[in-house]
């Protein structure tokens, strides 16, 4: 997957809460490495998965001729 703002790849990272709960996030590599002027923050994986599912509900593949 790629960042919608700068086009850099997204990488998967895990954040751990004070209670030890691990939360998966996608992070823009351009922002993280300071290679771009991207301002997109880390995105919670379940939120991204839901957005992709919603997108595919609206996409229709044309029938083959």
User: How many structural domains compose the chain?
Assistant: 1
DSSP secondary structure code for residue 63 in this structure: P
In a domain, 50, yes or no: yes
In a domain, 28, yes or no: yes
- The 10s digit of each residue's pLDDT in 1-48 is 899 889 999 999 999 999 999 999 999 999 888 888 898 888 999 999
Residue 54 predicted with pLDDT over 90: yes
| Residue 27, CA distances (Å) to 7, 23, 47, 53, 60 in order | 12, 12, 13, 19, 29
pTM over 0.85: no
Instruction: Give CA 17 to chain center in angstroms.
Output: 20
Query: What's the pLDDT score for residue 14?
Result: 94
In a domain, 65, yes or no: no
What does the alpha-carbon distance between residue 14 and residue 31 come to, in Å, rounded to a whole number? 17
Query: What's the pLDDT score for residue 61?
Result: 83
């Amino acid at each position: 997957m790629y960042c919608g703002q700068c086009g850099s790849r997204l990488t998967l990272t895990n954040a751990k809460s004070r209670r030890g709960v691990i939360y998966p996030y996608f992070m823009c590599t351009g922002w993280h490495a300071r290679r771009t002027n991207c301002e997109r923050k880390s995105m919670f994986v379940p939120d991204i998965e839901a957005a992709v599912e919603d997108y595919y509900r609206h996409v229709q593949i044309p029938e083959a001729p």
